[in-house]
């Protein structure tokens, strides 16, 4: 990164790519930054699917969805199935979010759910929770979240 001076009194930062490109991680490919719930303050997720109803806890959480770890076989959980969710945010928020989603990933002991049609109010509550969690993350993660929000506000997709 280097600073470039212009004739006008502004400072522009140019980001240069490193000599060797690092391997892109899942976090880089994701549209939304994911956070892990705080230890001792889990995010409870009540999931109501086509043929199942279960209470689980999120292992990661973002504006776009969440993943849950399951301790038992989940044979009725297929990719693309719609689900209704009650996501219970922990202290200091203590809010229940009524959301709809779609199962996007099924693994051995976890699966991912993408949120569908989130209200502005719920999106703001999710962002507030993520900002709260980011306070305890390394500066690189916080910077990534800030830049994504900045470019999103400018109309860019990343």
**Residue 125: Cβ within 10 Å count:** 18
pLDDT of residue 30: 55
**Residue 155 banded pLDDT, cuts 50, 70, 90:** low
Rounded to a whole number of angstroms, the CA Rg of the chain reads: 18
Q: Is residue 117 over pLDDT 80?
A: yes
Q: Are 105 and 67 in contact (CB under 8 A)?
A: yes
Listed residue (33, 38, 45) closest to 103, CA to CA: 45
Q: Is residue 23 over pLDDT 80?
A: no
Looking at domain 36-132, which of 2.120.10.30, 2.40.10.220, 3.40.50.80, 3.40.190.10 is its CATH number? 2.40.10.220
List of residues 6+ apart from 28 with CB closer than 8 A: none
Backbone phi, psi, residue 99, to 5° = -130, 160
pLDDT of residue 4: 47
Helix, strand and coil content of the chain, in percent to the nearest 5, comes to 20, 35, 45
List of residues 6+ apart from 98 with CB closer than 8 A: 84, 85, 86, 122
**For the chain, what are the domain ranges?**
36-132
Q: Alpha-carbon distance 151 to 145, whole Å?
A: 10
How would you classify residue 104: left for phi > 0, otherwise alpha for psi between -120 and 50, otherwise beta? alpha
């Amino acid at each position: 990164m280097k600073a470039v001076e212009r004739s006008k009194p502004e400072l522009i930062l140019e980001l240069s790519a490193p000599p060797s490109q690092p391997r892109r991680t899942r976090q880089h490919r994701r549209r939304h930054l994911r956070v892990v719930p705080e230890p001792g303050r889990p995010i409870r997720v009540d999931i109501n699917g086509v043929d199942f109803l279960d209470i689980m806890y999120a292992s990661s959480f973002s504006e776009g969805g969440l993943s849950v770890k399951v301790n038992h076989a989940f044979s009725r959980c297929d990719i693309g199935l719609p689900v209704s969710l009650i996501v219970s945010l922990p202290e200091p928020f203590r809010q229940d979010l009524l959301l709809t989603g779609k199962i996007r990933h099924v693994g051995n002991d976890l699966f991912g759910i993408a949120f569908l049609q989130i209200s502005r109010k719920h999106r703001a509550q999710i962002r507030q929770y993520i900002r709260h969690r980011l306070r305890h993350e390394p500066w690189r993660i916080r910077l990534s979240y800030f830049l994504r929000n900045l470019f999103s506000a400018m109309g860019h997709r990343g």
